[in-house]
């Protein structure tokens, strides 16, 4: 999954798509992290089926952090992932609600980097609303 993101970050969309879709992982120690990374990749690649499945899988984890079971790796608030997914799906109301939840968690955790990411996504959300999405 990280290879897909690395290729997208490098501007290698065709090579990223060649490694996609990534098979679903069993529900074990890295499942939440893997599912969040799949959701983010699906949003970037425009894969609606994987986006819908992973959003549904992540929804019960709203209000929590994406992390491995042992806590050794933390990605972001689940709601930040859900906000990106909702933006990609063209669902601004859901994106706004997820951003509110992500910001509240980031504030409680005193995590300015996540609050800055929320602010950036809010700006994109405002732009999308102005464009009639």
CA dist., res. 124 & res. 129, Å (int): 9
User: What pLDDT was estimated at residue 130?
Assistant: 67
Tokens 């549904």 correspond to 56
CA dist., res. 77 & res. 118, Å (int): 10
Phi/psi class of residue 86: alpha, beta or left (left: φ > 0; alpha: ψ in -120 to 50)? Answer: alpha
Biggest CA pair distance of the chain: 43
Where do the structural domains in the chain lie, given as residue ranges?
A: 2-130
First-to-last alpha carbon distance for the chain, in angstroms, is 29
3-state helix, strand, coil in the chain (%, to 5): 70, 5, 25
Profile the chain (133 residues) by mean pLDDT over runs of 10 residues: 94 94 88 97 97 98 96 95 97 97 98 98 82 60
Token output for 66: 């994406």
User: pTM of the full predicted structure?
Assistant: 0.92
For the domain spanning 2-130, the CATH number is: 1.25.40
Q: What is the pLDDT of residues 83-109, one digit of tens each?
A: 999 999 999 999 999 999 999 999 999
């Amino acid at each position: 999954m990280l290879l897909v993101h690395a290729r997208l970050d490098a501007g290698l969309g065709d090579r990223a798509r060649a490694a996609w879709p990534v098979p679903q992982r069993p529900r074990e120690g890295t499942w939440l992290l893997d599912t969040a990374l799949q959701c983010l990749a699906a949003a970037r690649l425009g894969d609606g089926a994987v986006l819908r499945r992973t959003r549904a899988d992540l929804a019960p984890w709203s209000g929590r952090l994406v992390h491995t079971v042992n806590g050794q790796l933390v990605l972001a608030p689940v709601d930040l992932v859900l906000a990106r997914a909702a933006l990609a799906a063209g669902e601004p109301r859901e994106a706004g609600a997820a951003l509110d939840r992500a910001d509240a968690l980031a504030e409680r955790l005193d995590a300015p980097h996540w609050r800055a990411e929320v602010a950036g996504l809010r700006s994109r959300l405002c732009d999308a609303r102005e464009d009639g999405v």
